[in-house]
Structure 1
Amino acid sequence: MGKIILVTGGARSGKSTFAEQYVAKKGKKIGYIATSQICDDEMEFRVKLHQKRRPRDWTTFEAAFDAHTVLAEQGKNYDMFLFDCMTIYISNILSHVHDIGAFDQIYELVTGKLNELITAIKNSDATVVIVTNEVGAGIVPENKLARIYRDLAGLSNQILAQAAEDVYLVVAGMPVNLKNIKENI
């Protein structure tokens, strides 16, 4: 039975670097699930940075929309996956929504994709380290789509955290396992 490790934090907090080190230390045969779509120079630069840091023996799977399929097909072939990242995955899904006014339908779409992902992970033999962002710690966005995105990212993080064995919050490059703190309360 597969398991989830969630790694969250703010922008440039060191969460991807921590997740890469975690996977490299604990995994033997590692798959990398890349969710980014290169649509501008900035994203191309970020993708290249991530590629440069990754060991060459990791297998990369491009999965901008259907990451659950990769895990359903490959979950028995790898002991560890790095999924980077959930908030970009949500952004990809939202980019194909035609009516941002239909929040209930958008919510169903995103949570449906999330549940497919969790089910595929649980049915695999792998540990999947999922990187995500904490996007709701700032001001309430003025833009409706940005508010929907923020809300869905926060809800998705909560769902993933409940399903995860461990949840790491990374701040200034320093990870804290939130599940350990919760157990001590």
Structure 2
Amino acid sequence: MKVLVTGGVRSGKSAHAESLYAGRADVAYVAPGPTAAEDPDPDWAARLAAHRLRRPPTWSTLETRDLTGAVTAAGGAVLVDCLGTWLTAVLDGDRAWDRPAAAQHASLAAHLDPLVAALGATTRDAVLVTNEVGLGVVPSHRSGRVFRDLLGTVNQRVAAACDEVHLVVAGRVLRL
């Protein structure tokens, strides 16, 4: 089963995603943001630590931007939290923030196409968490608009590769 969990910031997405694997010991938790070695951001480290405390000690944690590799790796279930931090890492790594829109889309496609193909091919259970964007004010800065537009693309493509999509609002879950 492949599930995309989406919703606003601090809506309860991560807790819901983790609950989908309640009782499972064989879960690889993938944190696709900055790695501690690359960027020792104390806020990011604190967030990872808080998530670890919530999870069973048998779950492994993998800090990587290689989501295709994480999805296709042998083993049990995979939980990716979250696609928004992955997108930021992709744009940072490709230095794509200030490039023309066509170049940004090409950069994203180089990473997203293999991920979507891997999701379609894997027999592993996979839960992917993402932020829902575009429900409010148009961002005043170009980087905000770039992020919103590209994450919308990521969400649509990943949702199409999943069996279910769950929308989390104020801790409540709606299966779409």
Matches of 1:98 and 1:172, distance apart in 2? 34
Q: Which runs of 4+ in 1 moved over 4 A?
A: none
Q: Give the secondary-structure state (helix, strand or coil) at the position aligned to 2:114.
A: helix
Q: Which runs of 5+ in 1 are unaligned?
A: 179-185
Matches of 1:161 and 1:35, distance apart in 2? 18
- Confirm or deny: 8 A CA contact 1:81 1:127 kept in the other structure: yes
Among all aligned residue pairs of Structure 1 and Structure 2, give the percentage whose two residues are the same amino acid: 34
Equivalenced residues, count: 171
The structure 2 residue matched to 1:153, chosen from 151, 154, 168, is 151
Residues 50 and 133 of structure 1, relative CA distance in 2, 3 Å threshold: same
The structure 2 residue matched to 1:95, chosen from 92, 97, 100, is 92
Matches of 1:71 and 1:136, distance apart in 2? 27
- Confirm or deny: 8 A CA contact 1:6 1:132 kept in the other structure: yes
Q: Counterpart of 1:19? A: 17
Matches of 1:101 and 1:70, distance apart in 2? 28
Name whichever of 15-24 and 43-52 sits farther off: 43-52
1:129-167 alpha-carbon deviations (Å, 9 max, x no partner): 000001221211121111101100111111112221100
Within-5 A mapping of 1:35-184 = 35-37=32-34, 39=39, 40-63=41-64, 65-72=65-72, 74=73, 76-78=74-76, 80-99=77-96, 100-178=98-176
Matches of 1:123 and 1:161, distance apart in 2? 15
- Confirm or deny: 8 A CA contact 1:111 1:156 kept in the other structure: no
**Paired letter, 2:108:** V
Report the CA distance between 1:35 and its aligned residue.
Answer: 1.1
Q: Which runs of 5+ in 2 are unaligned?
A: none
- Confirm or deny: 8 A CA contact 2:25 2:58 kept in the other structure: no
Matches of 1:121 and 1:23, distance apart in 2? 18
> Could you say what the CA RMSD is over the residues aligned between the two structures, in angstroms?
1.7
- Confirm or deny: 8 A CA contact 1:33 1:62 kept in the other structure: yes
**Paired letter, 1:19:** A
